[in-house]
């Protein structure tokens, strides 16, 4: 999974700049096409893996932890590549990265210092991830096809990404504080 990070960011940089002379040669176009197939196949196998696991009751604890991390690595590569192509402002990429790092730190804290193991994404978190995916797709379509409609969709969606990143990051923090307070109250209450 991690060996593809550099290749993925170069791929998404190329998608953000489809008319860049660096990416216009036949060999480069072939690499970009191969990379698209590689990213699509990884995403498809991820979707199929999840569907089969749910269908046949094969959910594993380790899969519940690593699947969201793999998704975040893929989205991070997308946004790093788009930032390298000057398609997305760097501060948005840093906001997305900071939110994901915040969630990972909260999860690590919960796993290390508490008995809490129900580390499920919130509705806000799922909405943020959805908006990130749709914003990236809209932007790449707008840049690849010169389509103003997709660019407008991107502008609306990236605004949603910013708002939802802040809300979901705060929500995860608040959920952690409420859990710790409930545990502290239960621990100090007379029995």
pLDDT band at 128 (very low <50, low <70, confident <90, very high): very high
Alpha-carbon distances, residue 33 vs 28, 36, 70, 73 (angstroms): 8, 5, 22, 21
- With a cut of 60, say whether residue 149 has pLDDT above it: yes
**Mean pLDDT comparison of 35-49, 50-64, 114-128, highest-scoring range:** 114-128
Average pLDDT over residues 39-48: 63
Q: What residues does each domain of the chain span?
A: 1-87, 89-191
Mean pLDDT of the chain: 77
Give pLDDT, residue 3: 44
pLDDT tens, position by position, 72-113 = 888 888 999 999 999 999 999 999 999 999 988 988 888 788
**Mean pLDDT comparison of 14-18, 45-49, 62-66, 69-73, highest-scoring range:** 69-73
Average pLDDT over residues 60-78: 76
pTM: 0.69
Q: Cβ neighbours of residue 115 under 8 Å, at least 6 residues apart?
A: none
Residue 68 near residue 121 (C-beta atoms within 8 A): yes
What is the gyration radius of the CA atoms in the chain, in angstroms? 19
Nearest residue to 3 via CA among 72, 78, 90, 77:
77
């Amino acid at each position: 999974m991690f060996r593809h990070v550099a290749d993925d960011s170069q791929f998404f940089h190329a998608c953000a700049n489809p008319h860049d002379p660096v990416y216009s040669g036949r060999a480069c176009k072939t690499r970009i096409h191969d990379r698209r197939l590689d990213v699509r196949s990884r995403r498809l196998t991820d979707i199929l893996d999840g569907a089969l696991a749910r269908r046949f009751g094969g959910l594993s604890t380790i899969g519940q932890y690593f699947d969201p991390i793999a998704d975040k690595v893929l989205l991070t590569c997308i946004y790093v590549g788009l930032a390298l192509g000057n398609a997305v402002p760097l501060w948005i990429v840093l906001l997305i990265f900071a939110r994901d790092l915040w969630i990972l730190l909260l999860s690590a804290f919960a796993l290390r210092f508490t008995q809490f193991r129900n580390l499920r994404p919130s509705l806000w978190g799922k909405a943020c991830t959805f908006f990130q995916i749709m914003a990236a797709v809209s932007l790449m379509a707008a840049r690849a096809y010169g389509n103003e409609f997709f660019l407008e969709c991107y502008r609306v969606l990236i605004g949603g990404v910013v708002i939802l990143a802040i809300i979901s990051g705060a929500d995860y923090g608040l959920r952690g504080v409420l859990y710790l307070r409930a545990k502290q109250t239960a621990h100090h209450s007379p029995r």
